[in-house]
């Protein structure tokens, strides 16, 4: 990504060596992170163009790493895992964050070039410089995952080329002692490179923003456990993955690949053993904090994410668990409880016992029923919004890959409730957004997992508890039936915050029922789905 040039005279360089840079950092207003980000971007661009000695440039960059990491992490929270398409302000912030990573990469690349040209001040720092280039290239790649965007092929090529340079220089696997910050853990070029590979293999497109925060932290911890080999690995329970260093993509399954000198095989055995040990210790009662997973990591979410990573990294999680049939079919899609309730019920939501509006009374007198036109006029735009998407493929168990139409306007988020009507069918089926991925040409691909059964729209109210704050009277709900094969209990889609085991909810639909909330199955971004037992 090209960074914006700084106009001559508009900003001045505030330091010219490592010592003066550290003094400048002390005056940097880190409480205003956006201002600090702009200042760091400008100063790194200026110092790279200032013509100072390459060894001094390296000292400056090493001093700037900590404030850069701080502001980037703080600002990334403002767009990580947000619904797509992003707001204009979120997109602008993401672009500036990517620009700062690129300035840092370009600074270290200038040091790398000086090392190649034989600069005596960098004679012993080649491995450190290339490790930093790999590290911050992987950071730029991770910014794409934060907004569910596919990493461009060109960025993969740059990452591979840096690792090839490390191999050719003979220090790819060498432990790099950090001579500038003795508090930092030593690493290697290979570990920095594997960090990017592990992030892609984790399938961040199917993660919430919170899960991505832990992923970023844990791959930092475990990337040194992965290794690369130039020859195929011995048979193992872990499917063999390979990376083509001459290509523009991440790891793929090695089975069936032509043997090439540019292929490297990814060994994840040690990571697999470590994950199994950590999961076992969690099951035995040790806390995530005791295992170094973070003071803010909580159970059972921590263990669930570890299991997900184990499946992705060590059990062919990167491939499809089942065959999917390609198809070319249009589908009608709506998002959220209000819209799903409207299209499944076929009318605007009305609380039981509520009186008819003047227009509804007019329709009843004239037609004997409430017209569709009146229903739509009574429904809010949120309830009635529906979009036409392209269904690309599907599986027998209810997984769909869909391509959203380019002119679609609704913002769509990870784990959001969705209702889908295929082709000429009259029925909407409920599901959730399993993953999101924006392609290199800005196409938005959506993975949807459908819930079993045909939902009924109901009105509901608490029977033995107070409704969450702000809710009075009846609320929308969606009831999915019990199914015999495969055996599936009845489930209820609730608004966020309603579920507690043992609560009772009154359901009003074709008949009045009382439902007991039993087990929570899904906690989406805008709904909860739980098993229920019902009685008339």
Q: Is 428 in contact with 420 (CB distance < 8 Å)?
A: yes
Determine the pLDDT at residue 308. Answer: 94
Residues 440, 472 within the same domain? no
pLDDT, mean of residues 251-257: 88
Averaged pLDDT, 261-269: 95
Q: How many domains does the chain have?
A: 2
Question: Domain for residue 489, yes or no?
Answer: yes
Identify whether 509 is part of a domain: yes
For residue 148, give both structure tokens: 């569910």
| Percentage of the chain exceeding pLDDT 70 | 87
Q: Which of 86-95, 331-340, 391-400, 474-483 has the highest mean pLDDT?
A: 86-95
The answer to the question of residue 253 being in a domain is: no
pLDDT tier at 10, thresholds 50, 70, 90: low
What's the pLDDT tens digit per position in 111-135?
999 999 999 999 999 999 999 999 9
Alpha-carbon distance 504 to 511, whole Å? 16
Tell me, yes or no, whether 462 and 441 share the same domain: no
Residue for token pair 């003094």: 23
The answer to whether residue 442 scores a pLDDT higher than 50 is yes
Query: For position 70, what pLDDT does the model report?
Result: 95
Instruction: State whether 337 and 434 are in the same domain.
Output: yes
Higher-confidence residue: 377 or 271?
271
Going by the DSSP 8-state scheme, the letter that residue 483 receives in this structure is: B
pLDDT at residue 480 in the model: 94
- Cβ atoms within 10 Å, residue 391: 20
Q: Are residues 443 and 336 in the same domain?
A: yes
Give mean pLDDT, residues 67-94. Answer: 96
DSSP string, 257-326: PPP-TTEEEEE-HHHHHHHHHHHHHHHTT--TTTTTS-TT--TTHHHHHHHHHHHHHHSSTTS-SS--EE
What does the pLDDT average to over 84-88?
Answer: 93
Q: Are residues 440 and 524 in the same domain?
A: no
Quick one: average pLDDT of 86-90?
A: 95
> Which of 155-169, 214-228, 304-318 has the weakest average pLDDT?
304-318
Residue 24 lies in a domain: no
Q: What is the mean pLDDT of residues 442-468?
A: 88
In the predicted model, is pLDDT for residue 8 greater than 50?
Answer: no
Residues 440 and 521 in one domain: no
Q: Are 428 and 421 in contact (CB under 8 A)?
A: yes
Range 12-37 average pLDDT: 93
Residue with the bigger pLDDT between 400 and 196: it is: 196
Q: What is the mean pLDDT of residues 516-529?
A: 94
Mean pLDDT of the chain: 88
Same domain, residue pair 380 and 443? yes
361 is a domain residue: yes
The answer on pLDDT for 371 being more than 70 is: no
Q: 174-188, 191-205, 330-344, 436-450: which range is least confident on average?
A: 174-188
Token pair recorded at residue 359: 């227009």
**335: in domain:** yes
**Residue range of the domain that includes 487:** 456-535
425 and 344 belong to one structural domain: yes
Residue 390 counted as domain residue: yes
Question: What average pLDDT score do residues 415-426 get?
Answer: 91
Lowest model confidence (mean pLDDT) among 62-76, 130-144, 232-246, 368-382: 368-382
Q: Percent helix, strand and coil across the chain, each rounded to 5?
A: 40, 20, 40
Q: CATH number for the domain including 393?
A: 2.40.10
pLDDT attached to residue 376: 60
pLDDT in tens, 378-411: 556 555 678 889 998 888 777 889 898 877 778 9
Residue 243 lies in a domain: no
Question: Do 439 and 489 have their domain in common?
Answer: no
How confident is residue 346, by pLDDT bands cut at 50, 70 and 90? Answer: confident
Give the mean pLDDT of 271-299.
94
> What's the pLDDT at 255?
84
pLDDT at position 83 over 60 = yes
Q: What is the pLDDT of residue 2?
A: 45
What was the pLDDT predicted at 225? Answer: 95
pLDDT confidence bin for 166, thresholds 50/70/90: very high
Contact 278, 302 (CB under 8 A): no
Q: Looking at residues 456-469, what average pLDDT do you find?
A: 82
Q: Are residues 338 and 398 in the same domain?
A: yes
Whether residue 531 sits in one domain with residue 464? yes
Q: Based on the domain organization, do 426 and 486 belong to the same domain?
A: no
Average pLDDT over residues 523-528: 93
Region 222-227 average pLDDT? 94
Please tell me the least confidently modeled range out of 20-29, 262-271, 325-334: 325-334
């Amino acid at each position: 990504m090209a960074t914006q040039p700084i106009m001559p005279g508009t900003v001045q360089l505030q330091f010219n060596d490592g010592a003066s840079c550290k003094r400048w950092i002390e005056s940097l207003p880190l409480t205003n992170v956006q201002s600090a980000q702009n200042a760091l971007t400008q100063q790194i661009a200026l110092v790279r163009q200032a013509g100072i000695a390459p060894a001094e440039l390296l000292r400056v960059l090493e001093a700037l790493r900590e404030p850069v990491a701080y502001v980037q992490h703080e600002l990334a929270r403002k767009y990580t895992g947000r619904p797509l398409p992003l707001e204009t302000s979120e997109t602008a912030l993401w672009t500036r964050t990517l620009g700062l990573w690129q300035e840092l990469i370009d600074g270290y690349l200038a040091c790398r070039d000086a090392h190649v040209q034989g600069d005596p001040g960098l004679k012993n720092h080649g491995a450190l410089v290339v490790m930093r280039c790999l590290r911050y290239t992987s950071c730029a790649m991770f910014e794409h995952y934060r907004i569910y965007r596919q990493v461009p092929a060109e960025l993969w090529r740059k990452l591979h080329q840096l690792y090839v340079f490390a191999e050719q220089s003979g220090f790819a696997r060498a432990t790099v002692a950090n001579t500038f910050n003795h508090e930092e853990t030593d690493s290697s070029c290979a570990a920095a490179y594997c960090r990017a590979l592990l992030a892609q293999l984790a399938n961040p497109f199917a993660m919430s923003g919170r899960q991505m925060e832990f992923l970023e932290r844990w791959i930092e911890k475990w990337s040194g456990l992965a290794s690369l080999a130039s020859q195929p690995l011995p048979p193992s329970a872990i499917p063999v993955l390979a990376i083509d260093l001459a290509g523009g993509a991440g790891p793929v399954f090695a089975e069936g690949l032509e043997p090439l000198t540019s292929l490297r095989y990814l060994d994840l055995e040690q990571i697999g053993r470590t994950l199994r040990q950590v999961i076992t210790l969690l099951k035995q009662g040790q806390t995530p904090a005791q295992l170094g997973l973070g003071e803010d990591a909580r159970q059972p979410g921590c263990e669930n994410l570890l299991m997900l990573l184990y499946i992705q990294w060590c059990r062919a999680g990167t491939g499809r668990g089942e065959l999917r049939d390609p198809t070319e079919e249009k589908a009608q899609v709506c998002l959220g409880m209000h819209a799903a309730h409207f299209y499944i019920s076929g009318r605007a939501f009305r609380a039981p016992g509520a009186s008819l509006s003047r227009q509804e009374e007019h329709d009843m007198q004239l037609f004997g029923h409430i017209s569709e036109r009146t229903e739509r006029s009574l429904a809010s735009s949120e309830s009635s919004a529906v979009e036409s998407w392209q269904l690309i493929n599907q599986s027998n168990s209810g997984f769909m890959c869909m391509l959203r139409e380019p002119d679609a306007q609704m913002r769509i988020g990870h784990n959001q409730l969705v209702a889908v009507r295929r082709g000429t069918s009259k029925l909407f089926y409920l599901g959730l957004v399993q993953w999101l991925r924006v392609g290199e040409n800005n196409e938005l691909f959506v993975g949807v997992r459908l819930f079993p059964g045909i939902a009924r729209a109901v009105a509901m109210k608490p029977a033995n508890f107070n409704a969450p704050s702000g809710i009075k009277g009846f609320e929308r709900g969606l009831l999915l039936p019990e199914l015999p094969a495969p055996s599936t209990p009845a489930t209820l889609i609730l608004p966020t915050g309603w579920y507690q085991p043992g609560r009772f909810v009154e359901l009003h639909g074709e008949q009045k029922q009382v439902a007991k909330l039993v087990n929570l199955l899904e906690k989406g971004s805008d709904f909860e789905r739980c098993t229920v037992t019902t009685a008339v």
